[in-house]
Amino acid sequence: MPAPWSDYAVVVEHIFKVAPQATPTRSDFLDICNANADEISDDVVDGFDSLREGVMFNTADDVKAALQANGQIAG
Residues 18-72 pLDDT 10s: 999 999 999 999 999 999 999 999 999 999 999 999 999 999 999 999 999 999 9
Number of domains in the chain: 1
Q: What is the pLDDT of residue 40?
A: 96
33 within domain boundaries: yes
**What's the whole-model pTM score?**
0.94
Q: What is the pLDDT of residue 75?
A: 80
12 within domain boundaries: yes
23 within domain boundaries: yes
Q: Report how far apart, in Å, the C-alpha atoms of 18 and of each of 3, 43, 69, 72 are.
A: 23, 24, 26, 25
Domain containing 15: what range?
Answer: 5-69
58 within domain boundaries: yes
74 within domain boundaries: no
Q: What is the pLDDT of residue 42?
A: 97
Mean pLDDT calculated for residue range 5-29: 95
CB 26 within 8 A of CB 47: no
- In the DSSP assignment, the letter for residue 3 is B
